[in-house]
Amino acid sequence: MFRMPLGLLCFLALALSVACTDQPSVADQQQPEIQISEESSPASNDPDTSTVINGPVVVYSSRQEHLIKPLFDRFTAETGIEVQYQTGEDGPLIARLQAEGDRTFADILYTVDAGNLWSAAEKGLLAPIQSTVLEKNIPENLQDPMNRWFGLSVRARTIVYSTERVDPATLSTYEALADPQWQGRLCLRTSRKVYNMSLVATLIERLGEAETQNIVEGWVDNLATRVFSSDALLIEAIAAGQCDVGLVNTYYLGQLQAQNPDISAALFWANQESSGVHVNISGAGVTRYAKNPAAAIRLIEWLSTETPQSMFSELNLEYPANPQVEPVAQVAAWGDFTPDSLNVEAAGRLQSAAVMLMDRADYR
């Protein structure tokens, strides 16, 4: 596995503030556009195989190693292209990429949540690319409008409820969880988690700040207990009777069901008569100063095709971003739903507004 030398990491930490200060604004940057021609990118869903690629592709990723290594190993087995990777938290990885500038090792930034990808793109760290393969495989609302990143897997954030104490007929929308009937019955994960920031950002985009603040204040008023540090702990609290409803990413319930198939919690698809279920992504983009952009594009294209898309669903119980690929049986068993059609870039564009709104609503 690729690892950054410790001495260089220390140097970069010291240089970070200078690098950030010297970084030109996005408006001033002339970002290179990496193109895949119509001739080299076939009309099929198969990634380009005509470009000669020398050397490994290097990935900076916030995804856990056990979720990405099987994918990279499969890619290498199929293409012969080596993948080296460095894992870490989103914020430090983006800061490191910014500090390294044109000296970066990274060809790809691969992270979770559209807000993180949007932030990296707005800092000028990702290069726009053109790829007929990605345009065909990834829906428009799951990709950056400027082609700087593409979603690769989908995570749905919806309502989870107690199967012992809640009639699902009483559930409807995210907004309705602010109603008095849920007073003392709602559990939430901390607002400091990017998943909740993105959900609130989407509400702001659809409903405006004033109405969204009323909703979030209603959620806070209805809390049964403290906020939780993880979705898994929230679901366990519902099963234990500490609260009756909550908001979670679906794969957390799947992970708990794998350990305990009889857990007394189930999913309800929110907002099916209005905006649809809130969705977010894991996704990737080619770095601005990639040393091996051809390999980077080849890998991202490959990740959008059938086999790796199925592996996303199998490895973490997520939904494939490619709508032509079915999720694994456990995920499919949760039933079909209509997702929100808003472009997920709103999660990044309105993230700061969402954080300030949640602070005003005393949602911590």
Mean pLDDT of 185-189: 98
Same domain? For 121 and 259 the reply is no
- Residue 276: in which H helix or E strand, if any? none
The answer to whether the beta carbons of residues 350 and 204 sit under 8 Å apart is: yes
Residues 165, 261 within the same domain: yes
Residue 201 lies in a domain: yes
Task: Report the pLDDT value the prediction gives residue 166, as an integer from 0 to 100.
Answer: 98
pLDDT digits (tens, 9 = 90+) for 222-273: 999 989 999 999 999 999 999 999 999 999 999 999 999 999 999 999 999 9
In the predicted structure, residue 364 carries a pLDDT above the cut 70: yes
340-359 residue pLDDT tens: 999 999 999 999 999 999 99
Q: Can you list the positions of beta strands (E) in the chain? A: 34-35, 57-61, 83-87, 108-112, 129-130, 150-162, 186-187, 245-249, 265-268, 278-286, 319-320
**What pLDDT does 55 receive?**
75
3-state secondary structure of 16: helix
Do 145 and 284 sit in the same domain of this protein? Answer: yes
Name 26's Cβ contacts closer than 8 Å, sequence gap at least 6: 122, 123, 124
Regarding whether 170 and 108 lie in a shared domain, the answer is no
Structure tokens that stand for 243 in this block: 């609260």
Domain that holds residue 272: 155-278+349-360
Same domain? For 209 and 253 the reply is: yes
Residue 335 domain flag? no
Per-residue pLDDT at 7 exceeds 70? no
| pTM (2 d.p.) | 0.86
Are the C-beta atoms of 240 and 214 separated by less than 8 Å? no
Q: Look at strands 278-286 and 150-162 and give their pairing.
A: antiparallel
Interval 146-160: pLDDT, tens: 999 999 999 999 999
User: What is the rounded CA–CA span in Å between residue 103 and residue 106?
Assistant: 9
Q: For residue 304, which of 143, 109, 116, 80 has the smallest C-alpha distance?
A: 143
Same domain? 297 vs 316: yes
Query: Are 299 and 353 part of one and the same domain?
Result: no
**Given a cut of 90, is residue 18 above it in pLDDT?**
no
Domain count, the chain: 2
Rounded percentage of the chain residues whose pLDDT exceeds 90: 85
**Which domain CATH number covers 254?**
3.40.190.10
Q: Is 50 exceeded by the pLDDT of residue 10?
A: no
159 and 144 share a domain? Answer: no
Give, in order, the Cα–Cα distances in Å from 88 to each of 60, 93, 96, 231, 347: 8, 6, 10, 20, 21
